[in-house]
Structure 1
């Protein structure tokens, strides 16, 4: 399908990538929604938490929301999307990945950009409620990569899954890491690294035979975190193999349902591989929009509603 012509033109300050990214993550007032937490027990004995919010009058439709690296279901971008969905008749299951809901998870593994077995468990749990006839998947950043990999690696999907939306998605994990390593992204990568090191240190107490103080000292970059923890914890030889096997770009051609991919041209987290224009021309079901502005998950329109939230709703409603 031809690339979607974007008409997104935000107010002047939000044309700066860093301003739109930081404002949206840290300064935008968080929409008020009522959430109910449900703990999902996973097949390996671990858990993750789902924060549900409900439409006033449900129409048997639900959207599963997936957050980004070191995010959670309380982040403003999750609540903003949940709010507009709830207002338009959709229930929302906002997922907190393992270890992201305020409580350390119980096994050595955690979450990563390609851990689709956990997403599969969430989808099964949602469908076991025997309420929903239509399910949509909506992911931000790492969560976008996760859902695209899930959709593209499976021969069959539950019939209830109709559409998917991926926003500010790193289709190439290695390429996006290289982008994050640019000098102008030091604030973001430093914030991610501080949080990931804290989690590593906490887990060291439970898994001293696998996680050591010596390795902890070596974790001075996102690459080293993935090399020393993410890769070995999830069965990969090293960080490079983890990036290669889990980048969603390779799975896009296999996806059968309609998908909407929204990646801003000025997103400093993304590399050139994250804008699959040629592939979109060949795929009838890939709707690709590349606005000039938006930064990383920063598509400000007003504090009440973001451009990305409005477009995501319109796409899944079509």
Structure 2
């Protein structure tokens, strides 16, 4: 059971902590006592003021359905523009990841010690998503121009956002080895740079699992999870059991996954005996297809490496991949933000945090990855409120505190593969540059914002 803080006013986020707070050393400044520490609660209260102030959704986006719908159909092409340089990583199992770096080298060269934000996108998204750019655009803006001046890196999952599918394995909410290898690469390339993680929806679940699995050896200095689905089994059943959720959200996400998989039919055909290839005939015959149906047909058998895949049922996969029950294994500063009117994630583990490193904040409005508030003008324009607490959190955990209990393992290069002692079955290497990435070219057939 955790403690709970609610300030007066229904529009102020609710903050949930474990009963016992974590204490971390402050960074030394001008002769400051190196032994001085602060609690994460005090850090949050002093350096993340947005979490303790009102968030009022735009009046014309007053419900979770409207907020979520606007995240999908809104035109964000002219806001938060971000341009990337793509690096393609080959993994030992034959898979390919696309790492999109911003700012591109042609625009600005950063110091190798510049903090790095690793972003994990949602279900079928990528670096082009508006919710990703809403965080990275100000985060990578120079300090002199009001930004943080950090480096942003989006890890595009296998087959997403134009990344080739080069193995008969997809990705899932529970498979963490891909982000593990991406962070190995970033640590090897920038050994002096602090690395932070931010995840959105499915990517938030992957990030949470990765951080919990790494424990005291985590290579990140902090994590932030937005719209995390937590209890996949319970939230999946809630999504399926309500008519609107089933016919709008579940059908929309299932169809997105089908379209994404269909983009790679030629690549999948190169592995005719694989479990993934064997699902294709039935997958193509399903129209429409619900999320749980896609997971039952495809994800449970091809959403990660073996073991633990394949799973006997989609629900067995959901139970394994859930994150609500592993928060006690998180040992770095971790902030999660969910909306109480999220139509996709209706169950948030605010009463079972179990880790002194974890803070969960909930807002009364915001939908799924929306959090749109009015700009204050009469133009009808909106901005994402959530960027404010996320940027404050990143700045605070990077620049105010240090972690003295984390002991990450050294990295080694074996036969050209960057790997970690004890995990030699994992490894990555650069296989090429994917060029300049800008806009949503090639992603028009997929629903954005999920």
TM-score normalised per structure 1: 0.91
Q: Given that residues 213 and 329 in structure 2 are in contact (C-alpha distance below 8 angstroms), is that contact kept between their aligned partners in structure 1? A: yes
Deviation at 1:103? 4.4
State the 1:215 CA deviation: 5.2
The aligned counterpart of 1:300 is 372
Q: How far apart in 2 are the matches of 1:132 and 1:97?
A: 26
Cα root mean square deviation, aligned: 2.2
- Give SS of 2:360's match: strand
Matches of 1:207 and 1:216, distance apart in 2: 17
Indicate if the aligned counterparts of 1:173 and 1:246 stay in contact, CA closer than 8 A.
Answer: yes
| 1:126 corresponding residue in structure 2 | 186
Equivalent pairs counted in the alignment come to: 314
- Cα distance in structure 2, aligned partners of 1:257 and 1:288: 14
Measure how far apart 1:312 and its partner are: 0.8
Q: Is structure 2 residue 270 aligned with structure 1 residue 206?
A: yes
Deviates more, 1:296-305 or 1:117-126: 296-305
Bigger Rg, which one: 2
Change (3 A) 1:4 1:122: farther
Superposed CA offset, 1:71-98 (max 9, x none) = 1111111111110111211110011100
C-alpha deviation, 1:212, in angstroms: 4.4
C-alpha distance in structure 2 between counterparts of 1:232 and 1:158, whole Å = 28
Distance change in 2, residues 1:193/1:3 (3 Å): same
- After superposition, where does 1:207-246 map in structure 2 within 5 Å? 207-209=271-273, 210-214=278-282, 216-217=284-285, 220-233=289-302, 234=304, 235=309, 236-246=311-321
| Equivalence for 2:249 | 188
Residues in 2 aligned to 1:260 and 1:103: alpha-carbon distance in whole angstroms = 29
Structure 1: 4+ residue segments shifted above 6 A: none
The answer to whether the 8 A contact 1:3-1:288 is kept is no
User: In the TM superposition, what is the alpha-carbon distance from 1:131 to its structure 2 partner?
Assistant: 5.2
In terms of fraction of residues, the more helix-rich structure is: 1
Q: Cα 1:60–1:103, aligned 2, differ >3 Å: closer, same or farther?
A: closer
More strand by share: 2
Question: Is the partner of 1:50 in helix, strand or coil?
Answer: strand
> What does residue 62 of structure 1 align with?
116
Instruction: Work out which of the residue numbers 349, 367, 370 in structure 2 matches 1:276.
Output: 349
Moved more, 37-46 or 218-227: 218-227
Query: 1:198: Cα distance to partner?
Result: 2.8
CA distance in 2, matches of 1:37, 1:244: 34
Q: 2:76 aligns with which of 29, 34, 44?
A: 29
Distance 2:131 2:286 in 1: 32
Name 1:19's counterpart in structure 2.
66
Q: CA deviation at 1:304?
A: 7.4
Give the match's secondary structure for 2:152.
strand
Contact persistence 2:215–2:331 (CA under 8 A): no
- Is 1:315 matched up with 2:393? yes
Distance 1:67 1:216 in 2: 25
Alignment check: 8 A CA contact 1:84 1:305 kept: no
Q: Give the unaligned 5+ runs of structure 2.
A: 7-12, 14-53, 142-147, 376-380, 397-450
In structure 2, C-alpha distance between the alignment counterparts of 1:311 and 1:131, rounded to whole Å: 27
2:159 corresponds to 1:99: yes
